[in-house]
Amino acid sequence: MLRPLEVPYRYLFGPGPSNVSPRVLSAGGRPIIGHLHPEMYEIMNDIKEGIRYAFQTNNHMTLAMSGSGHTAMECAVFNIVEPGESVLVSINGVWGERVAEIAERMDIDILYTGSQKALNAPPGTAPISFNERACQKMFNRKSKPVSYLLDMSHLSNYWGNDGKPARMYHHTGPVSGFFTLRESLAILAEKGLENSWRQHREVAEYLWKGLEDLGLQLFIKDKDLRLPSVTTIAIPDGYDWKELLAYIMKHHQMEMTGGLGPSIGMVRRTRLIG
């Protein structure tokens, strides 16, 4: 501890975080201001507009959670679901399994993500947006949500979404995290969603061709079913996936990850979410 912090530079191709742009890194190094200062409110308003653009929504109840994408998921469930209600959860991966563990009922329109997922921001904040139908359910519940921190009746005021003239203290938001999220959303708006989508697709196709030229086999055979943001590469016969990923990290300073759930040991995942 008795020395300045040193962090190695690595190429991050895992599920997040990703290498962020110098502009976003610079935003995170701006002087700290109070989380209830007028300038902070302006930044939070910018974030809301940026999220609406990224999500392509006009939902008034749009904000960023102080926490990871999992925080936003729990916020959605805790505010909509009440004790005794039933839930239908469609499970097509690990995150669906997580929701199934905590959810009871969800038939609403809520969209959320993590700041490190394709927004090119550090982890720690989570954009979330509720449509009017969700708000009607959320603000007319019979019981209070089980979490005070994730209670949208308080968070809607904290983010200036409840129509009241004054914002009240609820929690101390991650000031530097909001700086970087605001800047990453600004970069996305300047570039344009369509240009960003096209760039990710082009880079992914370049990656796919390069991997196949090396003789590696892509796990998803049908090109139309692949996601530009994540590429799964089949582990060659005779190789241990953990040893393979450790070698890549040690000798090339590149982070990749293995599979999740049923695909553990079968693939390594390479992400393009910067």
Nearest Cα to 63, choosing from 155, 134, 136, 180?
A: 155
| CATH number, domain 193-271 | 3.90.1150.10
The DSSP annotation for 49-62 comes to HHHHHHHT---SEE
- Model confidence at 213: pLDDT above 80: yes
Question: pLDDT tens-digit profile of 18-33?
Answer: 899 999 999 999 999 9
Question: pLDDT tens-digit profile of 223-273?
Answer: 999 989 999 999 999 999 999 999 999 999 999 999 888 888 999 999 887
Higher per-residue confidence, 174 vs 101: 174
Q: Is the dihedral of CA 12, 13, 18, 23 positive or negative?
A: positive
Report the pLDDT averaged over residues 208-214.
Answer: 95
**CATH topology match: 21-191 vs 193-271:** no
254-255 and 230-234 strand pairing: unpaired
Give the residue extent of every domain in the chain: 21-191, 193-271
Task: Kindly indicate whether the domain formed by 21-191 is annotated with CATH number 3.40.640.10.
Answer: yes
pLDDT at 104: 53
pTM of the model: 0.85
pLDDT at 217: 95
